[in-house]
Chains A and B, each alone.
Chain A
Amino acid sequence: MADLVNLTINGVAIQAPAGTLLIDAAKKVGIEIPAFCYYEGYSLQAACRMCLVEVEKMPKLQTACTLPVGEGMVVRTESDPVVKARKTTLEFLLTNHPLDCPVCDKGGECELQDMVFRYGAGESRFTEMKHHVDEKQWSPVVFYDGPRCILCYRCVRVCNEGMGVGALGIVNRGVNSEIAPSHGDHLECDECGMCIDICPVGALTSGTYRYKTRPWEMKHVGTICTFCSNGCKTTLGVRDQQIVRGNNRDRSGINDEFLCVKGRYAFDFVESPERLTSPMMKVNGQLQEVSWAKALAAVAAKFSEVKGRGGKFGVVGSTKTTNEENFYLQKFVREGLGTNNIDHHRSGDLVTLIDALAGRENALASVGDVYNAKAALVIGTDLSQEHPLLAFQLRANYRHHNSNIYMVTKGPVREDAVAVAAVRAEAGQEIAALDQLREQLSKESELLVLFGGSVKGEAVRKLVAFADSLGIAKIKYICLVDYSNSRGALDMGLLPDLGPGYKPVDKAGLSLPQMMAATDLDVLWVVGANPLARYQLASKPFVVVQEMFLTETAKAADVVLPASNAYEKSGTVTNVTGEVQKLHVAGKTMGTKPDLEIIGLIAKEMKINAGVWSSNAVFEEIRKAVRGYNIPLPIIATGQAAQTSPLNGRVPVASAPELIQPAGNTLFTSGSLGRYSKKLTSVLEYPGQLYRP
């Protein structure tokens, strides 16, 4: 702990650690010093001059954003000279700022509006011509309105420092200065929209949201993004049942304000015209719309018939459905249908890791650890593309804590720029390459190891052995899995050989490829997955599919049941680091039902009591049945994340590394889901788009 310094702000005696900036010290005691350019976590600018304060014994007003606290300092943040300075700075700022607040996207949540309201530059003495330039479009999602820009340079810094992309610059001089995109007239970047989000005014606006609504007409639903495994909180702005915006301005959740292009813009799959809104059954080889009652009755009748004659079921679970749905599904399948033939698309070898780490405590890292670890070793993944939040945290860790980062990847990656060492190794050869880093790594006092899906089976055990041999006291791991609830699918036991909490079952069922290859499958039940995009069916079973879209698998179905998605239901999901968070309903699509309800209704129709199909009730069961899930409810109820740890004893099953297939998604793709987001496809089709380091 740094030495404490005594100072007085507005007559209040306070203490702050030496080196603290005055603006932060004041904030800690509830005194807000206004600023546009100052932004916690990014480099200092002292450009907007709004945070000027009066400090005794200093001749001029000082910028609180650059002045460290000093012993005996006497500061006034709202004295007459300070207020006058702010008022006149605002007057200057408004001279060339268009007063088009009535049509500006930012109106109502604009920091400039708030500041003018507070310091009241209500009357303008400016009677000259305003400086004007036309608005520009830089990409499908980024628009820039120069005159509105107050040049706080937040966007430049978040892109450069936060994202590691550096796609924005400042061009021209003086009053003509403006922000410019990376390639003359257009952007080649992540399209993450962080620049838009961080803009205090309406200078940067988003292609999805602009001119759609006023901010106060929306209700804001904080839920979890359904696109990748990182588990970012996205606050969806909903108007008239329609999602019009995604951001995380309230900085709740494990991602603070970070979101990537998918979390921020790709929610529009929800309202895709291709969305299924009615159950369908195959009549004469054609899928036809039918009522829910008819479809459910047909499914139940078929399931009962096959169960009755001891026929063969194959069940494929989802990597995107909730923990409750996954748990309920495997329970119904195991107890109700009497089979262990259940599996899902596995993208990382967590099972072997849990076995290799048996008996250890605190060996699995959280997202917070990625920001705090003193050293990190990243193996076999393009983190910025596949795990954008973890990459963002890793960069922030480097920026704020100067952590040592080691990269072992196939090709060059963005993280190389902040790494102390970067080693190239083909997929599957990463472990052999680790020895090159042994000397450097063994000097670390703690280490965080992140590994992708190419490290599986024995390689995971070798990796753990290698890390153990370094003599580092504190080592934590993240096994990278790829989809929004990949982790939950594993934890809930959507596996033929392991039940919830990685408890082995008596008699292992068929794995996903085995089901596909079986010649005598009677029923294939697919809940939110698209196995036929990757496999061919060897037999001709009765196929039941719960889906949002007519995917390859749904097209082959005998019955299709239209499902809701993560933004339309409640429940919990578990992210890549085992952190459980709650979903909240943002909107509904008529005709669809959540998978939990669909499974419940099938069970009811079959007269099987699988328990109440409410997510709260099922989660209570999960807390009792699944190792590590006995988490404090208030944490998730208040929108926070609770980390679970499945580590305990050995997992006595043979890992099947061949079943692990990393998704290999980029920032702009997300398996079948991404295809149905117009925004994401428009970004993909935009020329010269994909940013590569």
Chain B
Amino acid sequence: MTFSPQLEAKLEKLINSYPAGRRKSALIPMLMFTQDEVGSVTPELVNEVAKRIGIPPVQVDEVVTYYSMLHKKPMGKYHVQVCTNISCLLWDADKLYEHACHKLGLGHKEVSPDGLISLEEVECMGACSWAPAVQVNYDFHHHVTAEKFDEIIEALKKTKTQ
């Protein structure tokens, strides 16, 4: 497997961040960065990463299945994550999530048929003082109301037609 030149450069820098013989340290960042480009952690990617790090594939699997941001199945191009943890809940995040489900016609970890948007109910993302919060891929949205949520989604949908 080969990646884009930018990603290859990033991975090269990553591997060199750790002392000699400690290549395995690069495993989780490598999975995160390559997942961003590949879309999900495919079996092919597991083997590729295992090869690059020099560990058996089962050690990669152990890690992939442990961390909640690593997905074996592809998520949407825009992965919409709604926090419903306590601080957001106190600002009605449960109702926001319900609204999101209706708006998108998706449930937890479901992907729209066109692969554009996926939805996930997530745990605390560190936006507690600006609740309720939503993350689209890595972008934060704060104090999200139902209306604001709809605007975000409409903007995402527009990118498809462009």
Contact = CB atoms under 8 A, between A and B. Distances in A.
A183 B57 CA distance: 7
Nearest to B68: A173
B134 to A, nearest CB: 24
Contact of B57 (A170, A172, A173, A182): A182
A172 B65 contact: yes
B158 to A, nearest CB: 36
A171 B56 contact: no
Interface in A165-205: 166-173, 180-184
Contacts of A170: 62
A171 B62 contact: yes
A653 B27 CA distance: 61
Contacts of A168: 58
A170 B63 CA distance: 9
B61 interface: yes
Nearest to A168: B58
Nearest to B65: A171
Interface in B24-74: 43, 56-59, 61-62, 65-66, 68
B70 to A, nearest CB: 11
Contact of B65 (A166, A173, A182): A173
Contacts of B57: 182-184
Contacts of B59: 169
A176 to B, nearest CB: 8
A341 B55 CA distance: 55
B66 A182 contact: no
Given A172-B66, A173-B66, A180 B56 contact: no
Interface in B66-121: 66, 68
Q: Which residue of B43, B58, B65, B66 has the most chain A CB atoms within 10 A of its CB atom?
A: B58
Contact of B61 (A166, A167, A169, A173): A169
Contacts of A184: 43, 57, 61
A74 B155 CA distance: 67
A180 B66 contact: no
A167 B61 CA distance: 12
B69 to A, nearest CB: 12
A173 B56 CA distance: 20
Contacts of A166: 56, 58
Nearest to A181: B58
Nearest to B59: A169
A218 B68 CA distance: 47
A182 B62 contact: no
Contacts of B56: 166, 182
A693 to B, nearest CB: 11
A169 B58 contact: yes
A180 B60 CA distance: 12
Nearest to A170: B62
Contacts of B62: 169-171, 180
A260 B66 CA distance: 32
B61 to A, nearest CB: 6
A17 B118 CA distance: 60
A159 to B, nearest CB: 10
A167 B65 contact: no
Contacts of A172: 65-66
Nearest to B60: A169
B58 A183 contact: yes
Nearest to A182: B58
Contacts of B68: 173
Contacts of A171: 61-62, 65-66
Contacts of B58: 166-169, 180-183
A172 to B, nearest CB: 5
Nearest to B66: A173
A181 to B, nearest CB: 7
A181 B56 CA distance: 11
A181 B62 CA distance: 10
A169 B58 CA distance: 6
Contacts of A182: 56-58
Contacts of B66: 171-173
Q: Which residue of B43, B56, B57 has the most chain A CB atoms within 10 A of its CB atom?
A: B56
Contacts of A180: 58, 61-62
B27 to A, nearest CB: 13
A385 to B, nearest CB: 19
A195 to B, nearest CB: 13
A167 B65 CA distance: 17
A665 B65 CA distance: 38
B15 to A, nearest CB: 22
Nearest to B43: A184
A626 B73 CA distance: 69
Nearest to A178: B65
A22 B131 CA distance: 49
Contacts of B65: 171-173
Nearest to B64: A171
A173 B66 CA distance: 5
Contacts of B43: 184
A110 B66 CA distance: 29
B39 to A, nearest CB: 19
Interface in A121-174: 166-173
A407 to B, nearest CB: 20
A184 B61 CA distance: 8
A183 B66 CA distance: 17
Interface in A380-417: none
A156 B41 CA distance: 24
Given A172-B66, A182-B56, 14 more contacts: A168-B58, A169-B59, A169-B62, A170-B62, A171-B62, A172-B65, A173-B68, A180-B58, A180-B61, A180-B62, A182-B57, A182-B58, A184-B43, A184-B57
17 contacts: A166-B56, A167-B58, A168-B58, A169-B61, A169-B62, A170-B62, A171-B62, A171-B65, A172-B66, A173-B65, A180-B58, A180-B61, A180-B62, A181-B58, A182-B57, A183-B58, A184-B43
Interface of A: 166-173, 180-184
7 closest Cβ pairs, A-B complex: A169-B58, A171-B65, A169-B62, A172-B65, A182-B58, A173-B66, A171-B61
